[in-house]
Each structure stands twice: as structure tokens, then as C-alpha cells.
Amino acid sequence: MTTMENRVEGPTVVFLTTTDPNTDSETKSRFWVTSIDECREQTRAILSFQRQRHSINGFSGNTKQESITRKHQNFQRLLKPLAVVNPYADYLGYSDDRLQSRRDQPKYLNLIAAVAFLRQMTKTIKTLKRGEKTVFYIEANLDDIRIANELTNQILGKSLDELSAPGRELLILLDDFVEKRFCKLQEDDHENVPSQTRIAFTRRDIREFTGWTNTRLHIYLKELIDMEYVIVESGRNNSLQHYRLLYEGQGKDGGKFIPGLKSIDEITKEYQQDQPKS
């Protein structure tokens, strides 16, 4: 064992790998966490690739791979050290129902900046005077945000596949229940209607709507709470508890999603509404 000292001019990037899925939660909250694809299709693709590497096509493919790698490395050397400004920052959204969002949103914002930085050659370099110093920067655009949204959903997003079949069924029923209550509130009072994720309900409300037994509801409502599809709004032991649904109908097609993340259409609409009329 030898002590080694490395001096690096920051900022630095830390990359870790582990075979232990039960990583400390405090550590995980500070990183982008990804996992390997363990499905059968991916295993089949890996086995096929391993066989091809021993064929003549695989031999020529290794040479081509080296050429592609060099091209990417040379491209990165051409990137200029520019700051990134996001003119759409005030119009972005992120779930504010969990404390974890305080650490997840900076990851999302930095990802947008990283995408914009890598695409700097498609942008106009702008300048900003700070006293006697001139700062050069580029601006993130909607395409950068769209790419970052796709990556964020894949890395940090939820999937309905992570739920048991009854848990998924209960989630869909709760979504239907909240939608109906939301429509009823709109009919009664157009001015003071909360958003659907702010509508509170009790276990009795759910039992009456779904017809589920209390035992079954207890098991699968706890699953939805643990997986952060439902949040406990108020109430302690031996008192009436209220809940809110954090789910907004996403992911029914099997795709991943993040509650509270705005779509490009929503961002564009709000941004255009705030622009001065010409």
C-alpha cells in the first residue's frame, strides 16, 4: 500500500462503481445513480457482441471503434471554457414535495448546462462586462432542455414497472379519484381550485371509491407511500390522516417520468406569455 497524492485544478468530477445496490442514501443523494440493464434482451446483445469480437467483422470493428473514440476526444479538446446561462431557468419546474428535490434539482440544472456546453458550436458566443473584465458565455435553448429532460427522466425517473400489480392498480384508481374530485371542485368554485397534486383525501375516501378492504388498502397504500407516489399530508398515530397524490398520470406507456418536471410545451408557453408585446 502506497500513499499517492494527486493535485487537480477544479472543478473535479467523481465517478464511482459498486456491486452493492444498498448504497448509503446520503451518498446516493449526491450523485447521478445509474444501473446496468439486466434484461434478457441486453444479455443476448452482449453475448452476440462477445462472439462478433472474435470474427473478422469484429476485428475491423475494433479499428473503427478506436477511430470514433479519437474523434470524440479531439472534439472535446476543441470546446472553449464558456459559461452557460439559462434564459428559461425561471420557467422550469421540479417536484417540491420531497426534501430530496433540493439535491436533485441542481443535478437537473447542471445537466442542462452540460448539454448546452457540449453543443456550444451551434450557439452564438455572447459577452458580459463585469467592471474591467469581460465574461464570455452561451445560452441554453429549448433543444438543450429537451435533451436534458430525456436524460433526467431515464436516470432519476420513476417507472410504474417498479410497483406490484395491485399497487399499480391502486395508483391508477387514485389518479381517477383525484381527477373526478378536481372536476367537481372546478364546477363548484372556478376561482379557488387547487392543483390535482394538492387535493387531499383520507383512507375512507379511497375505500368508498375503490371498494377495497381496509387490509388490502393498508398494504398497497403503504407501497405507494414508500415509493413516493403518495405523500402523507397530515395526521399522527390514532388521528385522521390525509394524503396527497404526487402522481399526475405519467408513465402509463411504460416510460420513465419525474413528477413536477415541465414539458417543453409548458416552458415555451409560459416563456412566451412573459415576453413583451411587440
How many domains are there within the chain?
A: 3
CA angle 210, 211, 215 (to 5 degrees): 100
Of 24, 50, 78, the last residue of a domain is 78
Mean pLDDT over residues 179-184, rounded? Answer: 88
In a domain, 3, yes or no: no
Look at residue 182 in the predicted model and tell me its pLDDT. Answer: 86
In a domain, 262, yes or no: no
In a domain, 97, yes or no: yes
**Of the candidate ranges 106-120, 234-248, 255-269, the one whose mean pLDDT is the lowest:** 234-248
Residues 174 and 204 in one domain: yes
Q: What does pTM read for this prediction?
A: 0.73
Residues 55 and 130 in one domain: no
Query: What are the pLDDT digits (tens) for 90-145?
Result: 999 887 777 778 888 999 999 999 999 999 999 999 999 988 899 999 999 999 99
229, burial (CB in 10 Å: exposed 0-12, middle 13-18, buried 19+): buried
Look at residue 125 in the predicted model and tell me its pLDDT. Answer: 96
Query: 61 pLDDT exceeds 70?
Result: no
**Structural domain of 105:** 83-157
Residues 139 and 99 in one domain: yes
Query: 3 pLDDT exceeds 90?
Result: yes
Residues 187 and 236 in one domain: yes
Residues 144 and 165 in one domain: no
In a domain, 16, yes or no: no
Nearest residue to 174 via CA among 215, 242, 227, 229: 229
Return the residue matching grid coordinates 425561471: 90
Residues 201 and 148 in one domain: no
Look at residue 236 in the predicted model and tell me its pLDDT. Answer: 61
Query: What are the pLDDT digits (tens) for 10-53?
Result: 777 888 888 876 777 777 778 887 777 778 899 999 999 888 88
Band (78; pLDDT cuts 50, 70, 90): very high
In a domain, 34, yes or no: no
Cα–Cα distance, 251 to 166 (Å, whole number): 16
Look at residue 255 in the predicted model and tell me its pLDDT. Answer: 81
Band (235; pLDDT cuts 50, 70, 90): low
Residues 117 and 166 in one domain: no
Residues 137 and 176 in one domain: no
